[in-house]
Amino acid sequence: MRLIFSRKGFDSASGGGPSPLLAGRPRSLPIPTKMPTSTRFHDVGDGIASQVARLSGGRIAADRPCHLDPDLDPAALPRQPGWRGALGQAGAAQSHLRNQGVTIGDVFLFWGLFQENSGPPDWRFRATKEHRIFGWLQIGEVWTIADDPQALLAAHPWLSAHPHVQAGGWPRTNTVYVASKTLTLDGERTALPGWGLLRTGFRFTARGSGSPSQWRVPSWLDITQGGVGLTYHPPARWQSGGRLQSAARGQEFVAD
């Protein structure tokens, strides 16, 4: 089973800043988009539009199109029966996933840039920025749909709101990963669904580090301790003490 550490949500390039940590809970914000989508910020539940407006200083309006992907929260939009979590990918990032052999049964671990926030009414950031895992998706189905989602929608009409099934601009590499119904680890089916959001997540950034990109990683990942390593991370990035200088470029880091 491969693990794919997938960079998602707001950051300095997409959205203009971090997503908030609210009472210790990561709240990954969907990014603004110019790609095909049927979803605007005001469509997303739990007050996302007002949060984004406040955190962006009014730069991102409620009626602006957003890229709700990965789509993991059942409460984010009205759902049709049978809905499951899903992720879309295209371009160079999808080519990397294909070249690494990512397939059914592998697990995406979604991470992003976060910062502790006071929440309403002030929405003030405090403490330092950090990288944190906030959700997961185990691959149940892989659909390479390019710009024609009809076969996928015939099989799963509940995917009709997903941005990667909206026609008009997706490249030939456009692929949708549909979550498995349940999470299976080491051949054992768990009581968890094949997708979801973590209550507090897992902090990647090393404590005391001045940069969110300085990670503290477990030994099974650390190549200096015999771990499996990560794509996009050559030996020079791995340091003693379980530290890793994570790559600024690249969206999908694969551990096999």
Q: What integer is the mean pLDDT of 239-249?
A: 94
- Residue 236 included in any domain: no
Res. 194: pLDDT tops 90: yes
Q: Is the dihedral of CA 234, 253, 199, 21 positive or negative?
A: positive
- Residue 248 included in any domain: no
Residues 41, 48: contact at Cβ < 8 Å? yes
pLDDT of residue 168: 83
- Residue 246 included in any domain: no
Structure confidence at residue 12 as a pLDDT band (50, 70, 90): confident
User: What pairs with residue 214 in β-bridges?
Assistant: 245
pLDDT of residue 71: 98
Q: Provide DSSP, 71-93.
A: B--TTSS---TT---EEEE-HHH
- Residue 225 included in any domain: no
Q: What integer is the mean pLDDT of 163-180?
A: 95
The residues near 4 (Cβ < 8 Å, ≥ 6 apart) are: 97, 102, 106, 107, 108, 109, 252, 253, 254, 255
User: How many C-beta atoms lie closer than 10 Å to residue 18's C-beta?
Assistant: 27
Domain span at residue 190 reads: 3-198
Question: pLDDT tens digit string along 1-10?
Answer: 999 999 999 9
Structure tokens at 190: 């768990």
Question: pLDDT tens digit string along 116-150?
Answer: 999 999 999 999 999 999 999 999 999 999 989 99
- Residue 58 included in any domain: yes
pLDDT of residue 56: 92
- Residue 86 included in any domain: yes
**Is the N-terminal amide bond of 163 cis, ω within 30° of 0?**
no
The residues near 153 (Cβ < 8 Å, ≥ 6 apart) are: 159, 160, 165
Structure confidence at residue 23 as a pLDDT band (50, 70, 90): very high
- Residue 234 included in any domain: no
pLDDT of residue 143: 98
- Residue 254 included in any domain: no
Number of domains making up the chain: 1
pLDDT of residue 29: 97
pLDDT of residue 91: 96
Question: pLDDT tens digit string along 54-104?
Answer: 999 999 999 999 999 999 999 999 999 999 999 999 999 999 999 999 999
pLDDT of residue 167: 84
pLDDT of residue 15: 87
